[in-house]
Amino acid sequence: MERIAFPLDGAWEMAPVEQAVELRWWGPRIRSGLSEGFPIATRKVRVPSAWNDGRDPELNLFRGSCVYIKDFRLPAAFKGRRTVLRFDAVGQRCTVYLDGEALGSHEGGYTPFSFDLAGKAAPGRSHRLVVVANNQRSEQTFPAISGDFESYGGIYRSVEIIGLPAVHMDKMLAIPSLSADGRGELSISVSVRNDSKRRREIELRAAVTGRGLKYISTRAVTVKAGAVASVTLKMRIPGVSPWSPESPAMYDLAVSAAGDRLRKRVGFRRIEVKGNHLLLNGRPIRLRGANRHDDHPDFGPCLPDAVIRRDLELAKSINCNALRLAHYPHREKTYELADELGILLWTEIPFVGGDVWTGDVRRRNLALQNMLRELIERDCHHPSVILWSVGNEVASDHPACRRFMAPLYKLARRMDKTRLVTFASNRGTNEIVSQPFSDVAGVNQYYGWYSASVNDVSGNMDSIHRALGKPIIVSEFGAECPRGRRGRKDRWTEDYQVALYRHNLRVLGAKRYVVGLFPWALFDFRSHRRMNVLQHGWNRKGIFDDRRRPKLVAKVVREFYGRMARGEG
């Protein structure tokens, strides 16, 4: 018996509610009539979507809670199955109710989570699902108030109910890498649950196929009635083609247990740091990157697959071999396409700003750990991902911050020994987190834009490198201008952006300890902090504008990265 899915995307009822009222107040009240307790009439929305994606002027600036309501009946095929309600992501935190009863809450707007509906939902009955989503920010939330991007609110990725067979796999982590002798390594850890009334002896089977290869590994597993067995399968596969940006070789992985089957696409590559070098499959590589936000003027955070593909192709058209997915996990399709197109990824959790040593520090650290765990669980099979980042521009010159961040590094390393761990710092030589913890230091610098003169880039980067003693990825530099604004009247012109890029690329590109360049940003993106006369709610530091039209600087990057790719940079 295979697992089945019942999609809950499509038409939902929705209403904004009183900001001051706690998330938990609303859900149980919406058990029957929609009018009950509602101060504002509900409206019809399509899930997935964000209420502040720009399409509804009434809600575009709304930071608060919205209630989402969906009535459904499960099809007969769900009879006798354990059912699980799964959200791909809800911005930014939510509490979920089924028929007036709380299923639980989730914090973090970018990763999947689920609730077990065993005994709570059955075919033949009508059910009411209520989700109260909230997108407010404070100094205690992640992202915090200062985060320079939109906090999208609502059910903006897919929702479904999964019907599981009696014996099924709960969670699967498949981590691929490449051994020094060229074998494909795959570590698969999975929990097998037996919901039946008798003990089951099953065969866990993993098959890697593709490019003329078929490699199968099996393991006998015994699971008592009502129990869960955790199993790890380690595969060492001869004859694989290594994955790289030049040759993104992908394979199909199918893991099955008593009829339940999970599929993923995997690829095999190795990433390491040696001295001042970053090595991909044993060979030095320099990352020709850019920063991308998961954002678009027409779709907010719900970019159609074809638009994501086009974004990645645009990055490749200016000779990028890498992207930093700032500042939170992007839609999973992005990672699938990066695998397929050969783009190396830096991916991070939304630990952006925030007052990390006041309030309930422990609770907030656990919330971040959970966001990191969910990111690694979701994306650890993608060969494109080489860097887990545990944050951006936090107060990493403060001893309390170092203590706060240590568990995040530890968790990333415990879950995945094959990737590098980093974070993006703006604390220059005062940095005390990257030095002890990061494999490669992420450095954000805006010389010539926010601070000092562009001529300071070289000396300052050398000092940072001396202080940290490890290879550096320049994770941000840039200048802002609306596309088409020309001249020398001030810094907000394409001409100034070009001059600043030329200097940064030339100076930083010449430093061998700089193993990656990630200008800020690939595209202009929404940010309601950005309200001056040239911004109107958009951060305009893009190489392309919000509609993906190139600024003059695109050519500068393309030519420079082209030379770098040929080994001339």
How far from the centroid of its chain's Cα atoms is residue 226's Cα?
34
Determine the Cα–Cα distance for residues 381 and 265; give it in Å rounded to an integer.
Answer: 7
Name the residue nearer to ligand GCB (CB basis): 326 or 371: 326
Residue 331 vs 427, nearer CB to ligand GCB: 427
Looking at the Cβ atoms of 42 and 445, the one nearer to ligand GCB is: 445
Three-class secondary structure of residue 253 per DSSP: strand
d(CA 152, CA 49): 9
Question: Residue 327, preceding bond cis, omega within 30 degrees?
Answer: yes
Minimum distance, C-beta of residue 147 to ligand GCB, in the bound complex (Å): 7
Shortest distance in whole angstroms from residue 179 CB to ligand GCB: 36
Question: Between residues 150 and 439, which has the closer beta carbon with respect to ligand GCB?
Answer: 150
Task: Provide the minimum distance between the beta carbon of 301 and ligand GCB in the complex, in angstroms, as a whole number.
Answer: 16
Measured CA to CA, the distance from residue 358 to residue 139 in angstroms comes to 9
Closest approach, Cβ 426 to ligand GCB, in A, equals 6
Residues making contact with ligand GCB (CB under 6 A): 148, 327, 392-393, 426, 444, 476, 520, 539, 541
* Distance of closest approach, residue 77 Cβ to ligand GCB, in angstroms: 46
Q: How far is the CB of 326 from ligand GCB (least distance, A)?
A: 6
C-alpha distances (whole Å) from 292 to each of 8, 311, 312, 330, 334 are 29, 9, 10, 9, 11
Residue closer to ligand GCB, measured from CB, 42 or 291: 291
Closest residue to ligand GCB, based on beta-carbon distance: 148
Task: Give residues with Cβ within 8 angstroms of 181, minimum separation 6.
Answer: none
Quote the CA–CA distance of 279 and 277 in Å, as a whole number: 6
Instruction: Report the C-alpha gap between 542 and 507 in whole angstroms.
Output: 21
Q: Which is nearer to ligand GCB, 126 or 532 (CB)?
A: 532
Asked if residue 504 lies in contact with residue 471, where contact means CB atoms within 8 angstroms, the answer is no
> Which one, 129 or 390, has the nearer CB to ligand GCB?
390
Helix axes 332-341, 305-317, angle to 10 degrees: 40
Q: How far is the CB of 291 from ligand GCB (least distance, A)?
A: 8
Cα 415 from Cα 453, distance rounded (Å): 42
